[in-house]
């Protein structure tokens, strides 16, 4: 203790002068068009969660630095703590805010095609890709899969409020097709998971091996093959795939 305080005292008591120990404000170049302190209370949370999502998806939760998230949002780390209590709270916000609105759009889509199961299923699957898979939200499934065991509470929320709801939407579409004799009799509970897998896989691909595989996975051709296989596998009698 004594030694330590003495060292500090020596520094603190050193006479003012060119010792090089003072912290000098060499920040005399504010030649920016934008002010260094821009107050935008409303926009910050969105910008921060968007930045956090992209980095979490790219690197994983643990490997992502809060400084990087803040920098990507054009803000300092301290600001981040004005809006979120902790890194974990930020993660929760990313998941909670991210995907529920898109799911609600899917539920609206459901109402619009109640009477044509094949078209409905087609719309749901392709709609998922267009509204979620192909957008920034497409990284959420990868992120959530990777982190589910580290965040059981968030995983529970995501599973109940997102996956189970989406699953049920697709399940009802398949079931109504079976009921009307348009689709073959299948185990709807399981087939739903099988149907979603290739979509989730394609979305995950964009954030994993896409760079190793510039030509192998082409979303357009992949989706065509996928829908072709699915509808040939589901429809009763020989028909054109997908409607």
Partner DNA sequence: CTTTAATAACTGACCAGTCAGTCATCAGCA
Partner DNA sequence: TGCTGATGACTGACTGGTCAGTTATTAAAG
Q: Site residues (CB under 8 A) for a second copy?
A: 1-2, 4, 58-63, 142, 144-150, 152, 155-156, 159-160, 163-164, 167, 184-187, 189-191, 193-194, 196-198, 200-202, 204, 207-209, 211-213, 216-218, 221-222, 224-226, 228-234, 237-238
Long-range Cβ pairs for the range 3-6 (8 Å, 24+): none
Q: Say whether 113 sits in a helix, a strand or coil.
A: coil
Smallest separation (angstroms) from a second copy to the CB of 77: 19
137 or 174: CB nearest a second copy: 174
Dihedral angle sign, alpha carbons of residues 229, 235, 237, 241: negative
Q: For residue 138, give the DSSP letter.
A: G
CA distance 33 to 218: 42
Q: Which two tokens stand for residue 208?
A: 């994993």
Phi, psi (degrees; rounded to nearest 5) at 183: -100, 155
Q: Which does 145 bind (CB under 5 to 8 A by kind): DNA, a second copy, none?
A: a second copy
Query: Least separation, in Å, of the C-beta of 159 and a second copy?
Result: 4
Chosen from a second copy, DNA, none, partner binding at 12 (C-beta under 5 to 8 Å by type): none
Ramachandran angles phi, psi of 130, nearest 5°:
-70, -40
User: Which of DNA, a second copy, none does residue 44 bind to, with CB < 5 to 8 Å depending on kind?
Assistant: DNA
77: partner contacted, choices DNA, a second copy, none (Cβ within 5-8 A by kind): DNA
- Is residue 159 close enough to count as binding DNA by CB under 7 A? no
């Amino acid at each position: 203790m004594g030694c330590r305080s003495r060292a500090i005292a020596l520094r603190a008591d050193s006479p003012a002068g060119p010792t090089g120990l003072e912290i000098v404000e060499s920040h005399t170049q504010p030649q920016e068009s934008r002010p260094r302190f821009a107050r935008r209370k409303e926009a910050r949370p969105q910008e921060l969660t968007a930045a956090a999502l992209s980095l979490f998806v790219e690197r994983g939760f643990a490997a992502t630095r809060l400084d990087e998230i803040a920098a990507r949002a054009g803000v300092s780390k301290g600001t981040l703590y004005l809006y979120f209590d902790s890194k974990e709270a930020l993660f929760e916000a990313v998941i909670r805010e991210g995907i529920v609105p898109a799911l609600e759009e899917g539920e609206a889509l459901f109402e619009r095609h109640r009477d044509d199961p094949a078209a409905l299923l087609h719309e749901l699957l392709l709609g998922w890709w267009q509204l979620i898979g192909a957008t920034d939200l497409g990284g959420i499934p990868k992120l959530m899969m990777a982190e589910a065991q580290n965040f059981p509470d968030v995983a529970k929320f995501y599973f109940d409020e997102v996956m189970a709801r989406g699953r049920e939407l697709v399940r009802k579409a398949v079931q109504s097709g079976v009921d009307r004799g348009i689709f073959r009799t299948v185990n709807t509970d399981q087939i739903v998971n099988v149907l979603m897998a290739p979509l989730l896989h394609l979305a995950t691909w964009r954030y994993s091996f896409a760079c190793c595989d510039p030509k192998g996975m082409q979303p357009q051709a992949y989706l065509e093959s996928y829908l072709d296989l699915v509808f040939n596998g589901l429809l009763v009698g020989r028909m054109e795939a997908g409607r």
